[in-house]
Amino acid sequence: MNQNNEDRQLSVFEIDAYDDETDVVFLEQAYAYHQQLVAEENRLPLTRIERCETQCRKNKEMQDRDTH
């Protein structure tokens, strides 16, 4: 192996073939972060939820008026 390659530091995204424990920890953290991003992406903003509830209330009131 080239001396330069041996001396160079691994970047954050490289996996060291000789350190499985660190690799597992890194992959677990990366997976947890990915899951967090997916959850945040799929979460509706509060204002949108409020608008939906308001619209549902209006629709229900209109249905109640039509049936009476």
Q: Number of folded domains in the chain?
A: 1
Instruction: List the single range of 13-17, 21-25, 36-40 with lowest mean pLDDT.
Output: 13-17
Q: Which domain holds residue 51?
A: 41-68
Spatial distance between the Cα atoms of 23 and 12, rounded to a whole number of angstroms: 11
| Rounded Cα–Cα distance for residues 56 and 19 (Å) | 55
- Each residue of 19-37: pLDDT tens digit? 677 788 889 999 999 999 9
Judge whether 47 lies within some domain: yes
Look at residue 16 and tell me if it is in a domain.
no
Q: What is the pTM of this model?
A: 0.39
